[in-house]
Amino acid sequence: MKFYTNIPKNLLPYYNLELEKYRQQLALGNLQAAWNQLERAHILGQKYPFAHTFVHWHMLLFGFKIKSRKEIIGQIPRLIFGGIKSFVGKIPVGNPGGANVPPLKPFPIADDLKDVFAKANITTT
């Protein structure tokens, strides 16, 4: 069994860029665009416990910001178990991480994010 820990250095800049775009959109009040960036960061970081948990933390804070009880309640178990599942390599590939989707359901990965994984030499399976 392979254990995952930190996000690889060749993927980290792409992950950080998505988080920076999230912060920019949030600061501009573009809530839907901000959320979309968090989902993209989630997909990039979900294999790695710290990156995965960090995005869920921001999703929880976003839930508070928009006063979404569903998102707040949905993020709590994801915060608790998401990092553990990442550590042991049991993640639903492509899952965007929000409470509006089943937490264990895999999703197709957008072509541009597939390109990011390819550039970073990361397999998505």
* Mean pLDDT calculated for residue range 39-68: 97
pLDDT at res. 2: 63
Q: Under a CB-based contact definition with an 8 Å cutoff, are residues 83 and 71 in contact?
A: no
pLDDT at res. 42: 98
In whole angstroms, give the CA distance from residue 123 to residue 27: 33
The CA dihedral of 111, 13, 105, 91, to the nearest 10 degrees, is 130
In whole angstroms, give the CA distance from residue 85 to residue 1: 13
CA-closest candidate to residue 62, choices 104, 45, 54: 54
Percent of the chain at pLDDT above 70? 97
What is the model's pTM? 0.94
Mean pLDDT of the chain: 94
Least confident of 2-11, 24-33, 40-49: 2-11
In whole angstroms, give the CA distance from residue 43 to residue 113: 8
